[in-house]
Amino acid sequence: MADVLQLPFAVQYLIRHTACEVVIALGVVASEGWSAQATAQATLSGLLHAGLDASVPVIPAVVLTETARDAKSEIKSSAAGWVSGALALADMKRGATPVAGMMSNKLNSKG
């Protein structure tokens, strides 16, 4: 479970040593209880700070499940959304997509 706590440091390294426009940070916490929730929360907080400090959008794809099987299912069902969000943020960062347009497209696609 503690390995996922290294994810923010890996993201910082990736941002500093590559020319990435967006990072999708995938981590799995496959455990139960308050310590699993605390680990996931600390990881999410670290990812947020890593992205904000470097002005690089970070999609926090941290999955909190009880089993590895549940994690695999969650990743399969969420991956397209993570990639879509990353592509939209990359376009926005390049100035290709206005923020308001991106938000209205997201709202319209949900319902």
Q: Residue 86: CB partners within 8 Å, gap ≥ 6?
A: 22, 23, 24, 57, 59
Handedness of CA 13, 16, 20, 22 (dihedral sign): positive
In tens, the pLDDT along 28-38 reads 998 888 899 99
pLDDT of residue 94: 85
Token pair for 82 = 């993570």
pLDDT at 111 exceeding the cut of 50: no
H or E stretch at 73: helix 68-94
In tens, the pLDDT along 50-64 reads 999 999 999 999 999
